[in-house]
Structure 1
Amino acid sequence: MFDDILREKIEYINKGLNEFLSLTDRPEVLFEAMKYSVFAGGKRLRPVLCISACELVGGNKEDALPVACAIEFIHTYSLIHDDLPAMDNDDLRRGKPTNHKVYGEAIAILAGDALLNYGFEVLIQQALNSNKSQNILKAADEIARAAGCRGMIAGQVVDLLSENKEIGEYDLKFMHDHKTGALIKASILAGAIIGGADAATLKKLSSYAEYLGFAFQVKDDILDVQGDEAKLGKDIGSDIANGKSTFVSVLGLQRSVELVNELTEKAISILNDFGNKGEFLKSLTKYMAERDS
């Protein structure tokens, strides 16, 4: 049942992404590079969270779809830039050559820039053409702050500055709260805002999102140590090779596994307040904790 619902949501999101990227402008190589990374096989977790949070609070998925697609464009931009030689210098992403390996560094940088900008273009156009513009603007504000200098970019800078250095759990959590957790949290809050959630509900979902984002990153660090390269679509051990501190290197593998389970339980306990409406997100939370890629 969960698998069927998740597949339906992903198909719905992919259809929306395809419609938004049905661009025929020049230069063709730019739009080809944008589409290459967007459709390189992502799990669509952030847009799924956005739409599901909207539905959780009684909203319609149609209202959340443009916001969910904008989030995926912004997320994809971050992956393109993260893979660049000046950053993590990765050759593979989701089992395929990274954007700069296919199109060169210059086009990859510009394709990432274009996706970031286009994400906000989609949000602005939705606000201009909707009778719920205030909610859309509030959602856009959450996304902008999560993606910007107090969110994802701040986390990326700390990540770069921490290479080949030993950092403690506090600094590691700060880095990943910003680099990874911020956009996960914004996806959930943006969807809930579009769905008309009140302040009390947003506060609950904010706590849920923080536990979920933390668990997601710890799980990523575990997979980098003991994951299956074929399923991950990239080389395992890349964090160690790049001189990065991880939750596994700081806390140890056993404690990291325990921490994922603890955080997942805390996240699910918050969803209990939503009754049957929270069942899909509960299953998704478990799925994210148990994933192998």
Structure 2
Amino acid sequence: MIGFKEKLCEYISFTEENLKKYNAHSETMSAQKDLIDAMNYSLEAGGKRIRPVLVYSFCNALGGDYRKAAAPAAAIEMIHTFSLIHDDLPAMDNDDYRRGKPSCHKAFGEAMAILAGDALSVQPFEIIANDESLTAEQKIKIISCLAKAVGREGMIGGQVIDMENEERSDVDEANLRNMYRHKTGQLIAVSCIMGCICAGADEAKIQAAADYGFKLGLAFQIIDDILDVTSTTEELGKPVGSDAEENKTTFVTLYGVEKAQEIANGITEEALGCLEVFGKDAFLTELTEMLLKRKN
């Protein structure tokens, strides 16, 4: 039986393989070489590939062939990468480094970084629409869920709340939870949802996966808050202390590191409870616990 680490490496390797395939250079697009280079620069910068792994693991937990989920898994990583490129821009978080490398706008210029992010925000829908492993019904459902998770009700809406919070002094836990649910939770939840759709799951299991994803996303973001004050630039691959510099209210500024960790622990336990309908899948359980204990 394949162990957790071996399965995780298998999922990540499959993701890397597909990202290269879906965004490869071609003779017909030689004039767009710089754009494709900028897209690949950020796509290949590393990262944990958590969202594609969630797509595969939920599909697998429901008895599906995870390889048939290749398109939505690559799609969610492209969407995530687009958000990082735009987050790093001077008009947003103004970060010069991402994953230990110069940010896309530092390597390719602001205009090309904006365009690379734009391209990565729309290419996922083409990839899903053209996929040969999914039915038309599955494609429509996946595209609809993904679009909602990205737009005004999802990640982009969450980024707006985040930016507006920087100008406020009355941000409380309820506001933070709402912002994290949109900015971080939506993409994580939709990853779980898409894996279920690829496996032909019923609505009850899709809802359970969504509930798990939102809880995991909240715990994930609280750990990010903690790492921003306890980690190092070398470990994170980006500057630490940026939350304080940007006047951001986080779970750490509200409660301190110890209490924030307690809250993350509790939410992770709730997420694990959502996995009961999936037979407490061993891989998903270990993945959830690993993310709680991560150091970067």
**TM-score for the superposition, normalised by structure 2:** 0.95
Partner of 1:49: 54
Alignment coverage as a number of residue pairs: 290
Note the C-alpha offset of 1:155: 0.6
Question: Which residue among 183, 186, 191 is the counterpart of 1:182?
Answer: 186
Question: Which residue among 12, 15, 22 is the counterpart of 2:14?
Answer: 12
- Aligned: 1:265 with 2:263: no
Partner of 1:282: 285
Note the C-alpha offset of 1:251: 2.4
CA contact (8 A) 2:99 2:238 kept: yes
Shift in CA distance, 130/281, structure 1 to aligned 2, threshold 3 Å: closer
Secondary structure of the residue that 1:27 maps to in structure 2?
helix
Partner of 2:5: 3
Paired residue type of 1:120:
F
CA contact (8 A) 2:208 2:277 kept: no
Partner of 1:163: 166
Partner of 1:35: 40
- Aligned: 1:192 with 2:224: no
Partner of 1:135: 138
Gaps of 5+ in 2: none
Paired residue type of 2:6:
D
- Aligned: 1:117 with 2:117: no
Cα distance in 1 for residues equivalent to 2:150 and 2:237? 25
Secondary structure of the residue that 1:62 maps to in structure 2?
helix
CA contact (8 A) 1:51 1:64 kept: yes
**More divergent stretch after superposition (244-253 vs 215-224):** 244-253
CA contact (8 A) 1:139 1:191 kept: no
Cα distance in 2 for residues equivalent to 1:269 and 1:122? 33
Note the C-alpha offset of 1:183: 0.5
Note the C-alpha offset of 1:97: 0.3
CA contact (8 A) 1:146 1:152 kept: yes
Partner of 1:77: 82
Cα distance in 1 for residues equivalent to 2:118 and 2:274? 36
Cα distance in 2 for residues equivalent to 1:272 and 1:131? 27
Paired residue type of 1:73:
M
Partner of 1:215: 219
**More divergent stretch after superposition (79-88 vs 192-201):** 192-201
Question: Which residue among 140, 147, 150 is the counterpart of 1:147?
Answer: 150
Note the C-alpha offset of 1:190: 0.9
Question: Which residue among 93, 101, 111 is the counterpart of 1:106?
Answer: 111
Partner of 1:236: 240
Cα distance in 1 for residues equivalent to 2:272 and 2:214? 12
Cα distance in 2 for residues equivalent to 1:59 and 1:87? 40
Cα distance in 2 for residues equivalent to 1:232 and 1:3? 21
Secondary structure of the residue that 1:87 maps to in structure 2?
coil
Gaps of 5+ in 1: none
Task: Please give the root-mean-square deviation of Cα atoms over the aligned residues, in Å.
Answer: 1.2
Alpha-carbon displacement from aligned partner over 1:143-163 (angstroms, at most 9, x marks no partner): 110000111111111111111
Paired residue type of 2:291:
M
Cα distance in 1 for residues equivalent to 2:40 and 2:207? 35
Q: Which runs of 4+ in 1 moved over 3 A?
A: none
Cα distance in 1 for residues equivalent to 2:111 and 2:226? 33
Alpha-carbon displacement from aligned partner over 1:150-185 (angstroms, at most 9, x marks no partner): 111111111111114221111111111111110000
CA contact (8 A) 2:215 2:267 kept: yes
Secondary structure of the residue that 1:165 maps to in structure 2?
coil
Paired residue type of 1:35:
N
CA contact (8 A) 2:25 2:33 kept: no
Paired residue type of 2:269:
E
Cα distance in 2 for residues equivalent to 1:59 and 1:211? 24
CA contact (8 A) 2:49 2:77 kept: yes
Cα distance in 1 for residues equivalent to 2:125 and 2:25? 16
